[in-house]
Amino acid sequence: MRFTCFFSVYLFAGFALLFFSGSPAFCQAQTPSSAPEASRPNIIFLLTDDQRADALGIAGHPVLETPHIDRLARDGARFTEAHVVAPVCMPSRVSFMNGQYERVHQIGFSSPNVLSETQWNQTYSALLRKAGYHVGFVGKIGLQQYSFRGSPLEKFDFWRGHDDWARFWPREFDHLAIYHDSEGEIVTPIMSESIERFLDQAPADRPFMLSVSFSAPHGSISGTMLYPDEQGLNRMFTPANTHPELADHPVYGSLYRDRGIVLPASRGDDTAQHISLDVHPREGRMTTYSYSYAGDDVLREYHIRYYQLIHGLDIAVGKLRESLERRGLADNTIIIFSSDHGLLMGEYSMGGKSLLYDVATRVPLIVYDPRTPAGGRGATIDELALSIDVPATIVSYAGLDVPQTMQGRSLRPLIEDPEAAWRDEIFLESLFLLRTGPFIEAVRTKDWKYVRYFRSDTSQYTAEDVDFEGRAPDFEQLFDLVNDSAEERNLIEDASQAARIASFRERSKQYSAELVQARKDMKKYPR
């Protein structure tokens, strides 16, 4: 039996890991696994774009209906406290692939680095392909910057994907030419077509691993429903069902338009009462996510489109499960469902992502294993899960040892025994400097969250920039998540919380230092 730690010892040659009292979950015992070819399951990983944890019917959403995803959760295990380690598209997707924090893999919109061949070889896709899996990819890979040999096409046995943003009507765009031969016109049904193509050609004598990265409900999709390439506020001013091809569409027509859309109570707040404008000026975010700042009518249209797009995803999940049943694959195919991050949709009078509020970091996470006995299905697990746990879980289900380059932990022990020992807290970061963003770090337990901000005067960071040792934060927040789950009352100036704040500050520094050391130890990766 070996021990896999919160940050792998492989990354810290000669470096003593920091362990904190009261946090026994930094290490867990994992037994090396192996499995004969005949028993290895197929695995499908479904990743949506910008879907919040509360954007599911089973999560209690007052409007949205997602019967197929809800059924997946009832048949499997749903994690109610799953968070991404970096709530921005590219770095989060890399973390989902290789199980590392952005400060370690160093791939992000504000980083000068690109994904290397060695780094690619540590992704779950590469590891499973090397182990004999038939590996496919459908949808948005979202890397954009890589130096590995060849193209993404050459890294998979089946490739029907794209970089950069998709559009609601993808067949009109050259960079989405791979979908031009699709029968459908709308992006999510085209993803369903692509899944069918993969299943049609998957060999019967090998297990398969399929990654499906949906573009919905990202703003590049909701913002192009009416005008394919329209930019700016006009994309949300007019209801999308005024488009002649959507007027009578069962999903993108009138669905949810007759429902009472509940907008965030804090949408009218002065942003400055939540985050200091000296640390995070509002102009960049307002320009990019203008539809979240343009008044209730536009914000309501944005919410309606968001719900419609998720409903479309739900239909795709239903079609996938029907196809697996029809093909006789359902009993040996694991399905994992999650999203690259959440989204602010008017909360705190802001829109977008990259901040470390729960609405941006908390995502759906469902793991469905059809081999689970009936009595063990439908589990709701409230332990703190991370996006970097997903690749470790995939590798484990494939019968492989979790590589020590992955900083996450397999979720299988929790799925098999919800009472298993687990981590007490998580560390989150945002290194997204575009749109006047600051560096942000957070330590979150089930009951409390501490956040610290560091002002940045650049749009691209260096290795030295993300080492905050000896630097005082420019702004801090402390939230009591039990009594203030909306994270609206900052307690950082509350004298009664002084001891708690001091403890959080120290733990944040320690986590940050561990990541800096991990980054240094990974310098052997060719760039």
Q: What is the DSSP string of 114-158?
A: -B-HHHHTTSHHHHHHHTT-EEEEEEE-----B-SSS-GGGGSSE
Residue 149: count other Cβ atoms within 10 Å of its Cβ. 10
Question: What are the extents of the domains in the chain?
Answer: 39-422
With beta carbons less than 8 A apart as the criterion, state whether 402 and 127 touch: no
- Segments in 15-112 forming alpha helices (H): 67-75, 89-98, 102-105
pLDDT at 525 (0 to 100)? 43
CA distance to 29, 52, 96, 412, per residue, from 415 (Å): 15, 22, 19, 5
Contacts of 413 (CB under 8 A, 6+ apart): 28, 30, 420, 422
CATH architecture, domain 39-422: 3-Layer(aba) Sandwich (3.40)
With beta carbons less than 8 A apart as the criterion, state whether 439 and 468 touch: yes
pLDDT at 37 (0 to 100)? 61
pLDDT at 421 (0 to 100)? 94
pLDDT at 414 (0 to 100)? 95
Residue 168: count other Cβ atoms within 10 Å of its Cβ. 26
Residue 87: count other Cβ atoms within 10 Å of its Cβ. 32
pLDDT per position in the chain (527 positions), as tens? 233 344 433 333 333 333 333 332 333 334 334 455 658 999 999 999 999 999 999 999 999 999 999 999 999 999 999 999 999 999 999 999 999 999 999 999 898 888 888 899 999 999 999 999 999 999 999 886 565 666 777 899 999 999 888 999 999 899 899 999 999 999 999 999 999 999 999 999 999 999 999 999 999 899 899 877 655 456 788 899 999 999 999 999 999 999 999 999 999 898 889 999 888 887 777 777 777 778 899 999 999 999 999 999 999 999 999 999 999 999 999 999 999 999 999 999 999 999 999 999 999 999 999 999 988 899 999 999 999 999 999 999 999 999 999 999 999 999 999 889 999 999 999 999 987 789 999 999 999 999 999 999 888 898 889 999 999 999 999 999 999 999 999 999 999 999 999 999 999 999 999 999 998 887 644 33
pLDDT at 438 (0 to 100)? 94
Give the global pTM.
0.92
